[in-house]
Amino acid sequence: MSGIYIHIPFCKSKCAYCDFFSVAILSQKSQYVDFLCKEMELQKNYLESENIETIYFGGGTPSLLSEYEIFSILNSVYKNFSVSQNAEITFEVNPEGLTLEYLKILKNFSINRLSVGVQSFFEEDLQFLRRSHSQNEAKIALQNAINSGFSNISVDLIYGLPNSDFEKFAKNLEIVFEFQIPHLSCYHLTFEENTLLFKQLREKKFSQISDQESWNIFEKMIILCESKSYEHYEISNFSLKNYISKHNFNYWQETKYLGLGAAAHSFNKISRQWNVQNIKKYFDSLSKSLIPCEIEFLTFENQYNEFLMTSLRTFLGINFDDLKLRFGEKLFNKFSQKIQKFIKNSEMKIADNKVFLTNKGKFVSDSIFAELFE
């Protein structure tokens, strides 16, 4: 079982918080698709004929692809890989221009899951984040998706904007609940270097919300989502029963995946590799039939750290027997000692021979991982 991630690095314009690899040169799109198909031929043995259970179009903005471009990509996927009949095929879409006609095209290609980049239903937030859609377009997009017969829909929301609080964020959640959207990804706003918001923050054009307010929103968001029957199955993800993102969940289960396209990452349990984050270099390399990537072979420590981080992120937690069997008595004992502090601080809990992060632990997960890593 494995997955394929396809990176479409084109956007109409750059959002103020975004540090994903994307460019606004749409004229390169069709040539990019040709090279993407070429990369698939070169990488077709990476997953060793394993069945592909999930395909994920991420970006950038995959919904900028034309019908013919989607056809070319999927045609090449089916030609080069063995795709399961009931594979989960996710397509990231931006609300603007998500028309019934475009959704019909996606349906005809058997795309069966949509991830909609809403971020907020407040006009002032969308402007602050420099999103290219309006509050109304976001609602129309969700209604169009539902009317087109998509039932597996995910919505992305951002919380923790300056001057925000839980009461305001809860209004975003209520709209998602009204549409009966079965999957939600909620991310705290971060200020990454080389983004417009980072620059504006440095220029003191606004201030960040306090840690206390961030925690307040995080904790109450979990309580509210759980009260509506959403399972908090990963730090940033909530789903109704049977709507977990299989593709993303496989990442956290250390399933193999192949990432195609500029800046895409791949993992095959032995190594990680990542493609060059530059469209010209991506084209140049593939025009010489060379895969444009760097490879890192995973050491024993890398594998241990990876196991801890991916397992603790999800509701499955770490099974003590699995840990001991895979990494040995010595690391197991060390881990068991280190987690005592987090259990005492109510950041971790033990149940059924497993250890999990509590909500408090999820909130500070990065610092917990840093202390546990070898």
- Minimum distance between the CB of residue 21 and ligand SF4, rounded to whole angstroms? 8
Select 83 or 263, whichever has its Cβ closest to ligand SF4.
Answer: 263
CA distance 133 to 136: 8
- Minimum distance between the CB of residue 236 and ligand SF4, rounded to whole angstroms? 15
- Minimum distance between the CB of residue 9 and ligand SF4, rounded to whole angstroms? 8
- Minimum distance between the CB of residue 62 and ligand SF4, rounded to whole angstroms? 10
Check: CB of residue 252 under 8 Å from CB of residue 237.
Answer: no
- Minimum distance between the CB of residue 197 and ligand SF4, rounded to whole angstroms? 11
Select 232 or 247, whichever has its Cβ closest to ligand SF4.
Answer: 247
Orientation of helix 320-344 relative to helix 300-313, angle to 10° = 70
Select 65 or 357, whichever has its Cβ closest to ligand SF4.
Answer: 65
Select 129 or 357, whichever has its Cβ closest to ligand SF4.
Answer: 129
Select 15 or 70, whichever has its Cβ closest to ligand SF4.
Answer: 15
- Minimum distance between the CB of residue 238 and ligand SF4, rounded to whole angstroms? 20
> Where does residue 343 rank: exposed (0-12), middle (13-18), buried (19+ CB within 10 A)?
middle
- Minimum distance between the CB of residue 116 and ligand SF4, rounded to whole angstroms? 11
Select 94 or 239, whichever has its Cβ closest to ligand SF4.
Answer: 94
Q: Which residues bind ligand SF4 (CB under 6 A)?
A: 11, 14-15, 18, 20, 22, 59-61, 94, 117
Residue at token pair 């202390």: 371
**C-alpha distances in angstroms, 195 versus 33, 198, 261?**
27, 5, 22
Coil, helix or strand at residue 93 = strand
Q: What is the CA radius of gyration of the chain?
A: 21
Select 80 or 185, whichever has its Cβ closest to ligand SF4.
Answer: 185
CA distance 292 to 276: 6
CA distance 40 to 42: 5
- Minimum distance between the CB of residue 103 and ligand SF4, rounded to whole angstroms? 18
H-helix or E-strand spanning residue 145: helix 135-147
Select 83 or 126, whichever has its Cβ closest to ligand SF4.
Answer: 126
Structure tokens at 340: 């005592």
- Minimum distance between the CB of residue 196 and ligand SF4, rounded to whole angstroms? 10
Measure CA 216 to chain center. Answer: 24
CA distance 354 to 107: 41
Question: What are the φ and ψ backbone dihedral angles of 264, each rounded to 5 degrees?
Answer: -80, 145
H-helix or E-strand spanning residue 204: none
Select 60 or 261, whichever has its Cβ closest to ligand SF4.
Answer: 60
CA distance 234 to 58: 19
Beta bridge partners of 319: 354
Task: Using DSSP bridges, classify how beta strands 237-239 and 231-234 pair: parallel, antiparallel or unpaired.
Answer: antiparallel
